[in-house]
Structure 1
Amino acid sequence: MLLLGIDIGTSSVKVSVVDAATQNTIASAQYPDQESPIKALHPGWAEQSPSMWWEQAQKALERCHAKGGYNSNDIAAIGIAYQMHGLVLVDKDQNVLRDSIIWCDSRAVEIGDKAFAAIGEEHCLSHLLNSPGNFTASKLAWVKENEPEIYSKIDKIMLPGDYIAMKLTGEITTSVSALSEGVFFDFKTNGISKEIISYFGFDESLFPVINPVFSSHGTLQASVAEKLNLKVGIPVTYKSGDQPNNALSLNVLNPGEVAATAGTSGVIYGVDDQLVYDQQSRINTFAHVNYASEQKRLGVLLCINGTGSLYRWVKNTFGTGYSYNQMNAEAEKAPLGSEGLQVLPFGNGAERMLNNKQVGAHFQNIDLNLHTPAHIFRAVQEGIASSFRYGFDIMRSNGMNPTVIRAGKSNLFLSDLFTQTFVNATGVPVELYNNDGSVGAALGAGIGAGIFKSPAEAFSNIKAIKLVEPTTDQFEAVYQEWKALLDLRLS
């Protein structure tokens, strides 16, 4: 029995076919080969076309089929992971009304701040566990205020994964986890927030049917099945935002367990069983994939927008001719502290951990007679690791104190230097795993379809491939100098 996972990322779409019996990946593929574009019509804006995601998903699956090694008729369930917080709008005929306003878009910050004050900070934090900030609810309010003709045509609002499931099945559903990441969900009443609906003037009919994350979200339509070379009627049994899904794929499901990733954005994601929140909403709490009103499992999320996106920019700007592996090897030639070169990695929109300020990316203390590409590559990795430390200190002040952090050996964690720097910056060991978002989505589908009795069974074969522990390399002094630069920019 096989499972199909689809991971809708900001940079690309990846799909994997997994054998449910062994939990082994039979085939996987990604599309496109180069990072997908983000449309920035104005400073601080970020949009992508949902139709682009759907096209990329089809092409990635086509590539996966071409690799062979499996019979697509044996696929029993489909799972979807997706970039969080994006707003997708469709009319009554399921036509997309505008490009998606995605996770790193900053246009709605002021709208969210006004809602935070008007609804009441204490109410928002205790009921929503967040400020409305620039999350999905505020983005929808921006459309209502600035694009009334489009808003008037909306039949349903969705997150990116809901849209892909709609394209597969023709049905529109969502989940508590998805609604919470959009800051639509009231954790005290266990329903859509009446205060958010009332303040912004939304009609509750805009929201899809709410299903559990692990459940049927529709079955594959005949016309789509033929196009995708899949059998008709395969159920979509799992949908999750990429960070809860990453945590699931690392078997991070219980209070005190913590996952990290350093892809386009950088994230530390810890699980709690209390309705916790940061007073300044610098870190954010959402319903985890295994959340239930009777057994609360919350994901506490620190997000840094400009991690992998900065490393990609540096590669394109300073690393012409280098592969990422070569950049990582070159970075190791520079000394600790990059001989004074400092980098603030905040050039990809407003940063929630910095109170939604747009600090921008900065390279400080460049010496034209001293610094080489090696220094630049290392300084960027040290700057990203320092930003993780800055956010992790906020998490610690809110009661998150893990003894180990689990991460997939991918993206920046492919760099031994970055991994060790991250560990030295946070002071917490990291367990590395061969995990993958699309594989996690596939196994999530197995849970939703009842093929596995529990998440623990679905990930019973997961084993750490490496443990990285802190060393005494004096990174604290580097961090304190970095923090002084950040404080200066924030003042």
Structure 2
Amino acid sequence: NLPGNFTASKLRWVKENEPELYGKIRKMMLPGDFIAMKMAGEIKTTPSGLSEGIMWDFEGDGLADFVLDNYGISGDLIAETVPTFSVQGERTGAAADDLGLKAGTKIGYRAGDQPNNALSLGVLKPGEIAVTAGTSGVVYGVGDKKNYDPKSRVNVFVHVNHSSDDPRYGVLLCLNGTGILNSWLKHNFVAGEGIDYEQMNELAGEVPVGSEGLVILPYGNGAERTLENKNIGASVHGWNFNVHKKAHFLRAAQEGIVFALNYGLEIMRDMGIELTTVKAGNANMFLSSLFAEAFATVTQASVELYNTDGSQGAARGAGIGAGIYKGADDAFVGLEPVRTIKPNEKLASAYEQAYETWKNVLDDQLRA
């Protein structure tokens, strides 16, 4: 599993294509490592960061020397590894002056966007799931067992609260075609009608579950990892001129996004990730009550929506690492959901049937 868009492969690319530049490298740094270096004058990295770069040995719980050897990359380029939550350095006088912060301020945390988003939602325990449904969609689930998908349709990272004694792994799936589909409909399908997203949701809500046979596959934003990197494009199926109206397309789009996310969740379930609680920010597609209820009902998991974001997660993480909080649980005291959406059991059977219809259409497209 050495995808070309991750750090280890990128470093190999630099070695092959820009050898003079590669020869000048003293240490390889992830963006967070570089920022921390500029602040503290020390070069360090974390297990979570290395795992996001596909440079972590999950069996040995350390640097994946075999990956570096495969790519011909010297282990000397990798910085000292420190726990993700820990005092990782202190701000120098020069950095403090530039930032308007006190010299000696502790640096206690760094992480990539999705592990940090999960942290911001308090997703730290096995069975907890963080979902983002913006332009693209991301599902990040936490488990305590080492596992992987043989087809590499999802990625496994070391989660921010991982330790050898109490392992935590983050399984990530991405759906490129999420909110971008809804946005396309707004700016093209209903353009000029003065219809906003709330009105689109109201129109979609007038149509029954399953959109009366109209199926939309939301794969119009490039190749999809969950489809083994196939680029099948977005498509509409079952369109009946005598039945389907504008509202059907608006609903079928939201259902298609939910179904595509659930398709990825099935991969995660097969890997042993059990859904107990789904958490998301109260934003983007989850502002649609139709979308939120469909997601909860199709996945059969309660969805908790929070008013939080990555910056708050980073602040809490820094507090944990600096010892301001007694532990992770203490850091999230007071963070309560603003809304909780439970599965609508009255619609569960209809959604299950609609999902099977959608999946059959997808299977036909994948075989084409």
Q: CA deviation at 1:174?
A: 1.8
Tell me the residue number matched to 2:270.
Answer: 397
TM-score normalized by the length of structure 1: 0.67
1:81: which partner in 2?
A: none
Residues 238, 425 of structure 1: CA spacing in aligned structure 2 closer, same or farther, 3 A cutoff?
same
1:364 aligns with 2:237: yes
CA contact (8 A) 1:256 1:272 kept: yes
Q: Is the 8 A contact 2:127 2:277 kept in 1?
A: no
**Is 1:136 the counterpart of 2:12 in the alignment?**
no
Distance, in Å, in 2 between the alignment partners of 1:322 and 1:385 is 22
The match for 1:483 among 355, 359, 365 is 359
Q: 1:164 to 1:309 in 2, by over 3 A?
A: farther
Matched with 1:450 is: 323
User: Aligned-pair distance for 1:160?
Assistant: 3.5
Q: For residues 329 and 224 of structure 1, what CA distance do their matches in structure 2 show?
A: 51
TM-aligned CA deviation for residue 373 of structure 1: 4.9
Describe how 1:429-468 pairs up with structure 2 within 5 A. Answer: 429-468=302-341
Equivalent residue letter for 2:353? A
> How far did 1:288 drift?
0.8
Say yes or no: does 1:196 pair with 2:67.
Answer: yes
The answer to whether structure 1 residue 259 and structure 2 residue 130 are counterparts is yes
- Between Structure 1 and Structure 2, the one with more helix by share is 2
- With over 3 angstroms needed to count, the CA separation of the structure-2 counterparts of 1:490 and 1:148, relative to structure 1, is farther
Partners in 2 of 1:365 and 1:147 — Cα distance? 51
Q: 1:220 to 1:311 in 2, by over 3 A?
A: farther
Q: Against the structure 1 CA distance between its residues 333 and 230, is the aligned structure 2 distance closer, same or farther, given a 3 Å change threshold?
A: farther
Preserved contact between residue 65 and residue 75 of structure 2 (Cα < 8 Å): no
Q: 1:415: how far off?
A: 1.2
What SS class does the counterpart of residue 217 from structure 2 fall into? strand
Find the aligned partners of 2:60 and 2:31 in 1 and give their Cα distance: 26
SS of the equivalent of 2:60 reads coil
Distance, in Å, in 2 between the alignment partners of 1:314 and 1:150 is 45
Go from structure 1 to structure 2 and tell me whether the alpha carbon gap of 1:487 and 1:207 turns closer, same or farther (over 3 Å shift).
Answer: same
CA distance in 1, matches of 2:94, 2:239: 57
**What is aligned with 1:41?**
none
AA at the equivalent of 1:400: I
- 8 Å contact from structure 1 (residues 245, 440) kept in 2: yes
Contact 2:140 2:170 in 1 (8 A): yes
- For residues 239 and 325 of structure 1, do their structure 2 counterparts lie closer, same or farther at Cα, with a shift above 3 Å needed? farther
Q: CA deviation at 1:225?
A: 4.4
Aligned to 2:141: 270
1:338-364 deviations in whole A, cap 9, x for unaligned? 344322222334322222222333233
1:362–1:206 Cα change, 3 Å = farther
Q: How do 1:25-40 and structure 2 match up within 5 A?
A: none
Contact persistence 1:342–1:364 (CA under 8 A): yes
Aligned in 2, Cα 1:139/1:375: closer, same or farther, shift over 3 Å? farther
Q: Secondary structure of 1:438's match?
A: helix
Query: Does the 8 A contact of 2:14 with 2:21 survive in 1?
Result: yes
Q: CA deviation at 1:457?
A: 0.2
| Aligned counterparts of 1:157 and 1:210: Cα–Cα separation in 2 | 12
* Aligned partners of 2:126 and 2:274 also within 8 Å: no
Over the aligned positions, Cα root-mean-square deviation in angstroms equals 2.7
Separation of aligned partners in 1, 2:22 and 2:186: 40
Residues 46-125 of structure 1: matches in 2 within 5 Å?
none
User: How far apart in 1 are the matches of 2:232 and 2:41?
Assistant: 42
User: What is residue 211 of structure 1 aligned with on the other side?
Assistant: 82
The 1-side partners of 2:211 and 2:99 are apart by: 49
Task: Find the partner of 2:189 among 318, 326, 330.
Answer: 318
| SS of aligned partner of 1:213 | coil
Aligned to 1:63: none
Q: How far apart are residue 229 of structure 1 and its match?
A: 4.1
1:237 aligns with 2:113: no
CA distance in 1, matches of 2:196, 2:84: 38
Instruction: For structure 2, list consecutive stretches of 5 or more residues without a partner in the other structure.
Output: none
Q: Which residues of 2 match residues 177-192 of structure 1 at below 5 A? A: 177-192=48-63
Taking the TM superposition and a 5 Å limit, the aligned residue runs for 1:401-420 are: 401-420=274-293
Q: State the 1:383 CA deviation.
A: 0.9
AA in 2 matched with 1:270 = G
SS of 1:271's equivalent in the other structure is: strand
In structure 2, the partner of 1:384 is: 257
Over 3 Å counting, the alpha-carbon distance change for 1:361 and 1:449 in structure 2 is same
Which structure's residues are more often strand, by fraction? 1
| Letter of the structure 1 residue corresponding to residue 352 of structure 2 | E
- Describe the superposition over 1:381-434 as per-residue Cα deviations: whole angstroms up to 9, x where unpaired: 111100111111122222222233222222211111111111122122222222
Aligned letter for 1:423? A
AA at the equivalent of 1:276: N
Partner residue of 1:95? none
Query: What amino acid sits opposite 2:64 in the alignment?
Result: S
- When the two structures are superposed, what TM-score results if normalisation uses the length of structure 2? 0.87
The sequence identity of aligned pairs, in percent, is 51
Tell me how far apart the structure 1 counterparts of residues 99 and 247 of structure 2 sit (CA, whole Å): 45
In structure 2, what residue type is equivalent to 1:274?
K
The 8 Å contact of residues 126 and 273 in structure 2, kept in 1 or not, is answered as no
Cα displacement (A) at 1:158: 3.2
**What per-residue deviation string (whole Å, max 9, x for no partner) do you get for residues 255-312 of structure 1?**
2333322233323222222212222222322111111122211112232232234334
Contact 1:388–1:426 under 8 Å retained in 2: no
Runs of at least 5 residues in structure 1 that lack an aligned partner in the other structure: 1-130
